[in-house]
Structures are given as C-alpha cells and as structure tokens.
Amino acid sequence: MTHRLRFAPSPTGNLHIGGARTALFNWLQARHAGGKFLLRIEDTDIARSTEESRQAILEALDWLGLDIDEDIVLQSTRRDVHVAAALRLLEEGKAYRCYCTPEELQAMREKATAEGRSPKYDGTWRNRTDHPPEGTPFTVRFAMPLDGTTVIDDIVLGEITVPNEELDDLIILRSDGTPTYNFVVVCDDAFMGVTTVCRGQDHMSNTFRQFHIYRALGHEVPRFAHLPLVDGLSKRKGSASVQHYRDIGYLREAVINYISRLGWSHGDQEIFSVEELVEKFDLADVNRSSGKYDEVKMAWVNEQWIKRLPAEELAVRLLPYLSDLGVETSADERLVSLVRQLQERSKTLVDMAEGARFAFQRPTAFDEKAVKKWIKPASRAAFEEILAALPGLDAFTPDELEAAIKSVAERHELGLGKVAQPIRIALTGTSVSPPIFDAIAIVGREETVHRMRAALHLYDDA
C-alpha cells in the first residue's frame, strides 16, 4: 500500500512553528516510506481565510523544501461534493434533519448543564417522525452510534477508547446549506486517499467523530497520529512563524533540524541533515510529549548549521541578506572566501551579511568607542608607514601583508593589536572584522589605501 499523507492548513495566517512541525512530520513520513505528501488548503472559513495567507504558507513550505507530490486541493472548490455526500447520508438514514431553533438549542444546553449532564444535543429530531411545514429551516445532523465504544489505535498515543454516548450528533450541513468542518475533512481525506492522518493533539476529539463519518460514507478509516502540542509555542504565534526565522537569517536546515526534535528523537543526536531525517524518522517513534520550545537551543542549532554548510552554498544564501544592506554582488570566489572567514563567528545570515558588508561598502561612520580606544598618537607613525608601503607590496596576499605589517609593528615596538586595530577601524568603521590580513586582502590594495587615507584625520583628534 502506498502511504499517502497530507498537511491541511487553514489559510488564516503565516505558517508558524507548530504547523511547520506537522507539515514536516507528514513530509518525512511520506519520504521515509516512499509514499506521497499532499497538501490541502482548508479555506472554507471564508471570513478568516485569505489569499495572502495561502501564499505565505506555500512560500514557507517551499523555503523549507517540503515539496508536494500532487495538485493542491482547495477545500472550497469541493463544496458540491461535500453537500452531495451529506444529502446521501440523509437519504440513507445515517443523518437526519433537525428543526431545532437556536433558542431551543440554547435552552436544551442550559437544562442539561443545570441537571449536571453534558450539554450535548439530546436527539430530539432523531426520534421525531413528524414534519414541520415545508420551508422551515433545518440542519442535517449525523446519527452517531448511541452505545458501545470507539477505539482509536493512535500511532503516537496508543489505544484510546471513548464511550459513544459522549459523541454528539454533530451538524454536517448548516441551515444555510453549508457543510461543516468535521464533515468536509473526512470527505476530502477520503477523496485524496489519505492513509495516515498526522496532526496536532488538539484534533483528537474531532477524530472520534470523524471515525464514524468515514464508516458511514463507506470509506476505510485511515490511521491516525496525533502529535503532542509544543509547550511555550501558543503564546508566541506572531514571532514564531517560519518566515520570521528566514527573515532573521536562519537556515532552513536549522529550522527543520530544530522542529524535527519537537517530539521526536534518535538517541542523543542533536544535529540531523534532512537526508538523515528522511532515513531515520518514523511516526512510530514520536513521543507522547514534545518538550519545550526553546529559542536558545534553536539559535544554537542554527549556528551549528552555519558552520557546517559549504561556504559556496552559504554564499548563495547570503545574497538576499547582502542585498537588504544595499550590497549587490554574486557568489563569486571573493564572497566565498569571505564567507569562509565569517562562518565560525556568525550566528545568522543577517549577522554574516553585516560582517561581510565592509568588503563592499566604505564605512560611513567610525565607532566612537573603538576610535577612542585604538586611535592613539603612538600608532600614527606606524599607520602612515603601512599606508605608504601598501602600494609597493609585491603580492597583496594575507601572508605578504602579515609579514609587512608585523615588521612595521616591530620596528615601532608596538604590539600587533595596536597597529592592526586602527587599520580595522579604517576599513570597517568598527573594531570587528575577519582576521585583519584577510580583511585587508579582501578589501584590496587600492581600496585599502583609500580607506586608510580617509581615516587619517582620526589621528588629528587623538
């Protein structure tokens, strides 16, 4: 049997970390088992669904690399099929018309609560045989079994049993003729041939109801895997979107690596490539609790991935972040070697772009603290001597620069820092950069001379 899994987001906002985890687990299971990963956009809630959200979700899935195997199913386009299925159940006596008014339902709930019963529908119209006059509004309710139990053998949670008397005769068609959520999910999962439904534990109570709808419609009930909710996520929906992490310069490898661990583990291993996850992941190994969402840990995972990714690849990824700083360049050898120097010291791509900026842009200001600390009369002569020597150097390589600058420092009996820092300030406006000789080589001869000259005036106030 081909495994068919789906992600079914409602397009009512960005894809946040919780939703991304659900998407990832479905995708991993599909890839692991050689099955299919499908996408259904649950856009029947017209008031809350937006085209913008739909695009944002697709963009986030694309950025994460969770590729979709078949045409995307838009739930709203299947309305006629949903209505027809509900009417069929009505004809077959598996559903019935309910003529209760909202006021009657309200009174029913109040009475049940007052009597200490659960406020579920009391079955009034399941039992009545009379017919109100033609044109009286009605809803269509699903006739749940009245006794017995429903057992779900959940891949994550194990066997869960619910007495059927707890299950409500839920509405499947509203009085305006629109089908309801729990009903269309079943119609669509059956239509898409979904074999495993993997979603958040918050859907568990729906699952027991959906179970009976599958059966009534004559479909095989899929397997279910209910994922543990992630502690600490619900409060942070806004900033915890996938786009947010992309925008602050996280790598997709890191986001996937981190979220894969929210409820799944493989020994003590912390770092997983996507290929490794595909190989090792199995829904059967998902834990009943997923631990806490930990941004510090996520940042750490991202740093590991910045160190691991080949510099050539990072250079390509860095381009849009450089562009945000006004630097338009290409992932050429120069950028790659710069990336190599920044890899060890960058936490994010935004960080790295900031660190790479000096290679493309002259400083527009000088950090006051750095100037105060490092631009001292004692180093002026050495600074000027180096400036004068640069045009005559044979090769403008880090080694040659090191030899030349060190010899000037020695002659002036100055530690290397006292000589190097003023040059760094001249090149970057700050006291941080890659190793100084590499930094000078990257900026290049003419430009270094230009920047050192432009910084000379700092010594006037020293």
Residues in contact with ligand GLU by the rule CB under 6 A: 8-10, 42, 185, 199, 203
CA angle 415, 416, 417 (to 5 degrees): 90
Dig out the tokens for 222 from the structure: 């899929």
Map residue 150 onto helix, strand or coil. strand
* Structural contact between residues 287 and 201, judged by C-beta atoms closer than 8 angstroms: no
Task: Tell me how far apart the alpha carbons of residues 124 and 94 are, in angstroms, rounded to a whole number.
Answer: 15
Residue closer to ligand GLU (CB basis): 21 or 199: 199
Q: Residue 133, class by beta-carbon neighbours within 10 Å (0-12 exposed, 13-18 middle, 19+ buried)?
A: exposed
Residue closer to ligand GLU (CB basis): 16 or 246: 16
Minimum gap (Å) between residue 235 Cβ and ligand GLU: 18
Residue closer to ligand GLU (CB basis): 19 or 355: 19
Contacts of 441 (CB under 8 A, 6+ apart): 396, 397, 398, 401
Residue closer to ligand GLU (CB basis): 8 or 314: 8
Annotated active-site residue in 235, 237, 297, 418: 235
DSSP state of 236: G
Minimum gap (Å) between residue 6 Cβ and ligand GLU: 8
Is residue 235 annotated as a catalytic residue, yes or no?
Answer: yes
* Structural contact between residues 416 and 409, judged by C-beta atoms closer than 8 angstroms: yes
For residue 105, count other CB atoms closer than 10 A to its CB.
16
Residue closer to ligand GLU (CB basis): 9 or 434: 9
Name the residue with tokens 């603290």: 369
Chain residue whose CB lies nearest ligand GLU: 199
Minimum gap (Å) between residue 50 Cβ and ligand GLU: 14
Amino acid at 143: A
Minimum gap (Å) between residue 147 Cβ and ligand GLU: 27
- Residues annotated as part of the active site: 235
